[in-house]
Amino acid sequence: MVETSDQWITERTGIKNRFLVGPGETCSDLGARAALDACQKAGVDPADIELIVFATITPDMMLPATACLVQHKIGATRAWGFDLSIACSGFLYALQVGVQFILSGCHKNVLVIGMDVMSSIVDYQDRQTCIIFGDGGGAVLLQPSESASDGCFVDYLHEVDGSGGDFLCMPGGGSAHPASKETVEGRQHFVKQDGPVVFRFATKRMPDLCVRLLERNGLTGKDVDVFVPHQANLRIIKSAVERLGMPMEKVIVNIEEYGNTTAGTLPLALSTALSSGRLKKGDLVLFAAMGAGLSAGAALMRWGY
């Protein structure tokens, strides 16, 4: 579809595969499947879920919120919920929202979903973006723990820099440029990206936040057992890992398999970590994300099961 090569994509991004949804399959379909899977693994009846936070930039529709569609599909009859839109940082920010509702004692079962169907907004004539993005994501269920040894949230550090908004955006379809013949003809309903600018932001801000977060908790990269970074580009991950001074063995990387699934990468990486037996009870886990906004974040968690 575009002038590129497998060799270029592999060398410059580390990506080999991307999964795309089937005909008629939507973001809420994938979200509902992941949510049911999470509930089943945790032994929780969907009717006992109290809150659904759905991180996505590819909702089924602008309204209603995808969280409402998922609430209905999974039978979470007592839950409220909403969508959270901050692109690739979405899951990490949604996780923090969910954690706050647990910490405050408001809720005991919070479902956090990170999912994107990027194929619905990617321009397959634009080689800067179409080689990177794929569809997918996952869900986690948050519950209060009795003690820190049963798992706990340690700390987080999130930052946005709105001055970089134009470097990664989808101009059409919002109140600035409502859908029109011109926005469609101008291909404004697709993601636009200045790759090198985003790359520089990612390689600086993401590890910066990780280092600051670790330092204020009296830790260094050496104390981290498992690092779960946003999967945007293998070169971005490697540069962050070098800065943190940790071996690649501690890092969950599955970008080769899935590409960049935006809000989906962190729960997908968690799934990879769990299914490969790399995540164990008591592990100190560092999460990191960055994306449109421009936005970035880091979070520390003591894994609980």
- Site residues (vs ligand COA, CB under 6 A): 4, 8, 12-13, 88, 127-128, 131-132, 168, 193, 195-196, 198-199, 202, 232-233, 260, 291
How far, in Å, CA of 90 to CA of 179, rounded?
Answer: 25
- To ligand COA, the closest distance from the beta carbon of 296 in angstroms equals 10
Residue nearest to ligand COA (CB): 195
Q: What burial letters (b/e) apply to 98-128, b meaning 16+ CB within 10 Å?
A: bbebbeeeebebbbbbbbbbbbbbbbeebbe
Q: What angle do CA 86, 87, 88 make, to 5 degrees?
A: 115
Mind giving me the DSSP string for 100-138?
A: HHHHTTS-S-EEEEEEEEGGGT--TT-TTTTTTB-EEEE
Burial environment of residue 178 by CB neighbours within 10 A (0 to 12, 13 to 18, 19 or more): exposed
CB of 256 to ligand COA, least distance (A): 14
- Minimum Å gap between C-beta 118 and ligand COA is 10
Adjacent-strand bridge partners of 142? 110
- Catalytic site residue from 27, 88, 169, 210: 88
Residue closer to ligand COA, measured from CB, 111 or 296: 296
In the complex, the smallest distance separating the C-beta of residue 202 from ligand COA, rounded to whole angstroms, is 6
Positive or negative, the Cα torsion across 244, 227, 195, 167?
negative
Catalytic annotation present for 107: no
Smallest distance, ligand COA to C-beta of residue 57, A: 11
230 is catalytic: yes
Strands 192-193 and 168-169: antiparallel
CA 262/CA 137 separation, integer angstroms: 8
Q: Residue 12 or residue 108: which is nearer to ligand COA going by CB?
A: 12
Q: At 267, which amino acid appears?
A: P
Q: Which of 94/131 has CB closer to ligand COA?
A: 131
Catalytic residues, which ones?
Answer: 88, 230, 260
